[in-house]
Amino acid sequence: MNDGYMGKFLCVDLEAKTSLKLKVPDWLKQDYVGGKGFGAKLLSDLAPPGVDPLGPDNLLMFLTGPLCSTPAPAMRTCVVCKSPATHTFLDSYVGGRFGAEIKFAGYDGIIIRGTASDPVYLWIEDDRIEFRSAAKIWGSDALKANELIKQDLGHQEATVATIGQAGENGVLFSLICCEYNRQAGRGGAGAVMGSKKLKGIAIKGSQLVKVNRPDLFQQAVKKANRDIESAGDCSALTESGTSYAVPWSSSIGLLPYKNHSEQHDPKVNKIDDAAQDKHLFLGKSACFGCPIRCSQMGAVRTGKFASFVTDIIEYETVAMLGSNLAISNIRDIAYLNKLCDTLGMDSISAGAVIAFAFEAAEKELIQSPEKANLEFGSTKAAEHLLKSIALQEDELGKLLGQGVKKAAEQIGHDAPDFALHVKGLEIPGWGVKGSPGMGLAYATADRGACHQRGFPIGYEYGGALYKGEVVEPHSIEKKAEILIGDQNYLAGLDTLIKCDFGAFGVTAQSYIELLNAVTGLERPQSFIDELGERIWNLVRLFNLREGLDTGSDTLPAKLTGKALENGPLKGQRMKSEDLDLMLKEYYMIRNWDREGRPITKHLKQLGLNKERRFSIEKQLIAPENDEVKD
């Protein structure tokens, strides 16, 4: 049936070096659609409760949705596993080209289990799956590994995802580098891949992705493209990528500075979009099938680290490796970003960890290493820490490679107060003082501190109206309601799998028209919100099953502490009483009990009480005839 799906999952066992093809059953497509929906259901059903995130039984999944690999604009791919940093659900979304190839090879997703005895990489070419030795590639950085894998295969046109040394060495904020400069897996998906001794995945496919109603689909694509064309935020992204948000964030007072001690950077004009345009940008690049082309490719041409190719320095990276460390040389930030990309680490968490280390050194809780003095503003110290963390070459690197939560617990004293994380995932590059909605968003995001599960700043400062009304930025009123609406809607769109930047333009109506045309089903616009709510609750159930402490729906002491002393939001703070009030309201609207557990009656309403389980045995396709076993 032509419905945008390929109809199969590829299930790989690295220990046995075998692969299976599993049918994607109709009920899974209908109830979970793809991406986050598939991930939540498959991880809940296939991972044993209490699974060790770095053990062989954890699953590492690369999942698509029905609109991926089609001309529907701005679609991405989803990586799901249990996180070694938070011990809860990890879902991460990545652009580039890697994900598109999964469907071209004939699969709706790749499910990886087991641990290889020796380093391997996977070569997937349609039905042909090879487990190839990565003995000579292990130890190389993520970009070098990409090159070596292509050389080894003799296929320059393969698309490759790799891990760097950080993933090999179990750094809890290591990522998977998807060709090119597209990183997946905040929360340590790189370490999960490394624990499986899987250095990379190369893929190429010749299958066709077919849609149910081609004419309607083409119309829907044109409409969605028009949505993007007429959206101011999308045009700004085409012009200068997310770097355009740097001066805005500092001007409204939300750009973190010195481990969130302040929320504006006095030297912001050295690291903003204009500075990047002057010193870095050369041309644009687009992810697969995306008309926005937010990527601004360029090169560092002068200075100490010249020369190397660099992608745009994204807002989050500028915030976390720049202003939050009080580093104001854009070339230095580009270099630190490149180190994160090649060593295979999340630049958000890495920046947060370095800022934490600088503050800990300032407070004399840790000692600077011989080679670099740990202090705000020091590129040299940041460089030293990134390398020692990724390579795990000294005690400090080993301490910090676990992320701020665990490092602070080991350091003791008041270190946990300024270890900025929620549930073990570091706080990204938006301040919360003066933005109570964002505070609640971090506290309740399903994967720990995340700015992408809901972004109330858009209402508080970005001019977005809520039900036609202006939202008061500093008030806590309606913030829980607004956030829940966003979380549900975005979780629904994460099944498709939308890029956040596309969603700045494409309307809910256009998304549903795309989905209906591709699948041939007739769904109302409300389907996205309802689906999102079901998935949000399913993920909550998974997290509770895996031991989530509901008391962890909170913020670290430093963020609920004293008011800002400088900047546009001088005097603003995030009171813990306010957070408690918003959280109480949040649980109530979510139909969760006072401890944040979904109530049975609501689960029934969502259809989550007696669910069908996805089982590998039941969905197995016999290799000879591609028929389902039973």
State yes or no: residue 519 binds another protein (CB under 8 A). no
**Orientation angle between helical segments 214-229 and 508-519, nearest 10 degrees:** 160
State yes or no: residue 205 binds another protein (CB under 8 A). yes
The continuous run of DSSP H or E covering 74 comes out as none
Residue among 92 and 296 whose Cβ is closer to another protein: 296
The C-alpha atoms of residue 614 and residue 65 are separated, in whole angstroms, by 17
Rule CB under 8 A: choose which of 17, 45, 144, 207 binds another protein: 207
Residue among 184 and 438 whose Cβ is closer to another protein: 184
State yes or no: residue 209 binds another protein (CB under 8 A). yes
DSSP string across 106-122: T-SEEEEES--SS-EEE
Rule CB under 8 A: choose which of 58, 88, 92, 181 binds another protein: 181
Rule CB under 8 A: choose which of 18, 218, 302, 525 binds another protein: 218
The C-alpha atoms of residue 375 and residue 358 are separated, in whole angstroms, by 5
Q: How far is the CB of 194 from another protein (least distance, A)?
A: 23
Residue among 218 and 600 whose Cβ is closer to another protein: 218
Rule CB under 8 A: choose which of 208, 306, 470, 622 binds another protein: 208
Residue among 309 and 557 whose Cβ is closer to another protein: 309
Give the per-residue contact string, 143-162, with another protein (x = CB under 8 A; - = no): x-------------x-----
Residue among 62 and 180 whose Cβ is closer to another protein: 180
The C-alpha atoms of residue 540 and residue 40 are separated, in whole angstroms, by 10
- Cβ distance 227 to 506 under 8 Å? yes
The C-alpha atoms of residue 23 and residue 31 are separated, in whole angstroms, by 15
Give the per-residue contact string, 300-339, with another protein (x = CB under 8 A; - = no): ---------x-x----------------------------
Q: How far is the CB of 338 from another protein (least distance, A)?
A: 10
Q: How far is the CB of 231 from another protein (least distance, A)?
A: 13
Residue among 133 and 507 whose Cβ is closer to another protein: 507
- Cβ distance 408 to 240 under 8 Å? no
Residue among 285 and 392 whose Cβ is closer to another protein: 285
Q: How far is the CB of 210 from another protein (least distance, A)?
A: 4
Residue among 101 and 585 whose Cβ is closer to another protein: 101
Give the per-residue contact string, 251-290, with another protein (x = CB under 8 A; - = no): -------------------------------xx-x---x-
Give the per-residue contact string, 68-107, with another protein (x = CB under 8 A; - = no): -xxx-x------------------------------x---
The continuous run of DSSP H or E covering 73 comes out as none
- Length of the chain equals 630
Residue among 153 and 209 whose Cβ is closer to another protein: 209
Task: State which of positions 571-630 bind another protein (CB under 8 A).
Answer: none
| Tokens linked to 477 | 């009123």
- Rounded to a whole number, what is the distance in angstroms from the first to the last CA of the chain? 19
Cα 531 to Cα 286, 482, 544: the distances in Å are: 29, 17, 20
Q: Which stretch binds another protein (CB under 8 A): 19-27, 204-212, 239-247, 455-463?
A: 204-212
Residue among 23 and 210 whose Cβ is closer to another protein: 210
State the Rg of the chain over Cα: 23
Q: How far is the CB of 148 from another protein (least distance, A)?
A: 15
Angle, CA of 214, 215 and 221, to the nearest 5° = 85
Nearest residue to 596 (alpha-carbon basis) of 539, 535, 530: 539
State yes or no: residue 1 binds another protein (CB under 8 A). no
Residues touching another protein, count (CB under 8 A): 34
**Orientation angle between helical segments 142-153 and 330-343, nearest 10 degrees:** 50
State yes or no: residue 180 binds another protein (CB under 8 A). yes
The C-alpha atoms of residue 36 and residue 539 are separated, in whole angstroms, by 9
Contacts of 14 (CB under 8 A, 6+ apart): 56, 112, 113, 114, 115, 116, 120, 131, 196, 197, 198
Rule CB under 8 A: choose which of 297, 557, 581, 620 binds another protein: 297
User: What 8-state DSSP symbol labels residue 320?
Assistant: I
Please return the burial class of 522, using the count of CB atoms within 10 Å of its CB with bins 0-12, 13-18 and 19+: exposed
| Site residues (vs another protein, CB under 8 A) | 69-71, 73, 104, 143, 157, 180-181, 204-211, 214, 218, 221, 225, 228-229, 282-283, 285, 289, 291, 295, 297-299, 309, 311
